[in-house]
A and B are shown apart, each in its own frame.
Chain A
Amino acid sequence: MSEQDPIVVRCTPELTYRYAAGRYGSRFLRGLKEGRILASRCRRCPRTLVPPRIACTGCFGRMEEVVEVPPRGELLAYTQVTFPFLDPFTGVKRPIPYCYGMVRFEGTDNTFQYFLAEKNPANLRVGQRVRAVFREERKGEMADLVCLEAAE
């Protein structure tokens, strides 16, 4: 370092967090363990949303009803991620490339952002039918839902 170079100080903390899935989130994750996709429903709007949550996005009313929706739907947008970055979920670089998309499950009004089985974005199209792929040994966590794959 020369006399003129600015001095920088490096700091590399290792931090661990724990998040509460909450009442609705816990039901959703237990649903995944059973191989089911759960949604919350607002009777007033009417509106059905995945993941289930306490307040309706349409009217801010209470979503008191939790219902099962079919594990299939329509792909409304997608992307293939190809750039490297540090994943704050795991603390290491996220494996790339991977495709994910916005899927509207049948009978729902919003979309759910999740991994796609397809590796090549050239094979994906908006409006495509997809279905949920669950893993064999399920533990009640997000990874029980492996991905969404083409259903046609």
Chain B
Amino acid sequence: MGERVAIVGAGQTLHRSRRLDVSAPELIDEAVQAALTDAGMGPDGIDAIVVGNMEHFEGIHLSDLWAVEGTGGVGKPQLKIATGGTTGSSLSQAAYYLVASGAFRTVLAVGWERLSDSEGETTTGIVTAFDPIYERPTLAGAVSGLAIMACQYQSKYGTRPEDAAEVVIQARENALRNPHAHLRKPVTTAEVLASPMLSTPMRYLDMCPTSDGAAAVLFTSRPGDRSAAWVRGVSGAHNHVYLGDVAEGAASFLNTLTIAAERAYKQAGVTSPREQFDVVEMYEPCTWAALEWAESLGLCAKGQAARLWGEGTTRLDGDLPVNPSGGVLCTNPIGATGLVRVAEGSLQVRGRAGERQVDGARLALTTGFGGSFWSEVMILGRDA
């Protein structure tokens, strides 16, 4: 496995629907300076940088060039990683591999997005990720892609819209404790079920928002006496090109999450995820995804996720808190979103999560979702 790798700093911006007060590099700077402050480190301590976003949203190219004023990358090795929704989690994995290899001591991972730059047309950007001949004419971005998954899940288990609503109700409650979160307003079941239908069975309040924001995380093999979150497991699984191949009828729509989780669990010695993890920061782009993917992660049996939320297991004071930050349902600057999961997981095991801290958290599960339903997993522990 090479060098042991620890996270010693995590920083985030205030995530909002529009951060018109700052330019892209100023937004990145906000996250990077926060991470350096958290680590008690100066920019000279950084040996290399990985940075990424989902370029089509801003309509710019060479986003690593644009980012450099914020990342401090001049004169240093700086690589761009862009894997769509998983960009943030891919950044964390790349930073981990660069440090674990021994090539660099300390690597800064920076993910960012300004979804407001395309004036609300996030779906347009996402549709361009898919095959122009076969799938663009029908696809309505992540909304309809996930609606198709929800249709399959619902037909398999008879899950009710109110079961899904419980996920966003808990997420919004948690976000009230997170000053960085974008949507910090409680919602009720009635409000979720009365919100506009986007793509059956997905309603407006079932779906994540679009946010402007950035995150920065410092990975090092030499944490010294700094507070550290150790990387205990890392894996990813890509998927087929066509959504029609993804929906082929596997046991789970997000089969890749199960594949990635099984590999990461093995590395971390996790055999009973429900018992062993103290906190989960899951990339749940919609309520239905949280349900199906909790099952893909083995947190409960197939078809049982509605009970996990319904019985309050997933609450901040429950047995297995899921997304104490409020998750993607409350904050979604896409290129940063996966890295926010890692940042939040690291804060939890370092005991630095403020009002959203899970008491005594020692082992955190974080996930990333993107592209044609592909997945990444990183497990973080207080102990090496």
Contact = CB atoms under 8 A, between A and B. Distances in A.
B35 to A, nearest CB: 25
A113 B249 contact: no
B290 to A, nearest CB: 18
Size range of the interface on A?
35 or more
B249 A80 contact: no
B242 A113 contact: yes
Nearest to A20: B133
B200 A79 contact: yes
A93 to B, nearest CB: 10
Contacts of A113: 134-135, 138-139, 148, 242-244, 247
Contact of B245 (A49, A78, A88): A49
A70 B148 CA distance: 24
B242 A51 contact: yes
Interface string B122-133: 011101100011
B111 to A, nearest CB: 23
A85 B143 CA distance: 11
B59 A11 contact: yes
Contact of B132 (A50, A89, A109): A89
A88 B127 contact: yes
A49 B241 CA distance: 12
Contacts of A126: 151-152, 155
Contacts of B155: 77, 125-126
Interface stretch (B45-53, B86-94, B191-199, B298-306): B191-199
A50 B244 contact: yes
A55 to B, nearest CB: 9
Contacts of A50: 244
Contact of B140 (A78, A83, A110): A83
Query: Interface residue tally of chain B, by bracket?
Result: 35 or more
A76 interface: yes
A83 B196 contact: yes
B144 A79 contact: yes
A57 B361 CA distance: 40
Contact of A8 (B20, B127, B200): B20
Interface in A32-58: 49-51, 53, 57
A83 B132 contact: no
Contacts of B20: 6, 8
B151 A77 contact: yes
A63 B133 CA distance: 20
B124 A87 contact: yes
Given A6-B20, A6-B21, A85-B124, A79 B151 contact: yes
A78 B144 contact: no
B222 interface: no
B355 interface: no
B240 to A, nearest CB: 5
B143 to A, nearest CB: 7
B44 interface: no
Interface string A116-150: 00000100011000000000000000100000000
Interface of A: 6, 8, 11, 13, 17, 19, 21, 25, 29, 49-51, 53, 57, 76-83, 85-89, 94, 100-102, 104, 109-115, 121, 125-126, 142
What are the 9 tightest A-B residue pairs by CB atom distance, in nearest-first order?
A79-B147, A85-B123, A100-B138, A126-B155, A6-B20, A102-B247, A83-B198, A81-B140, A111-B244
Given A77-B151, A83-B199, A86-B123, 16 more contacts: A77-B152, A78-B148, A79-B147, A79-B199, A81-B147, A85-B127, A88-B124, A88-B136, A94-B140, A101-B148, A110-B247, A111-B244, A111-B248, A111-B249, A113-B148, A125-B155
10 contacts: A49-B245, A50-B244, A51-B134, A81-B199, A85-B123, A87-B124, A94-B140, A102-B244, A102-B247, A113-B138
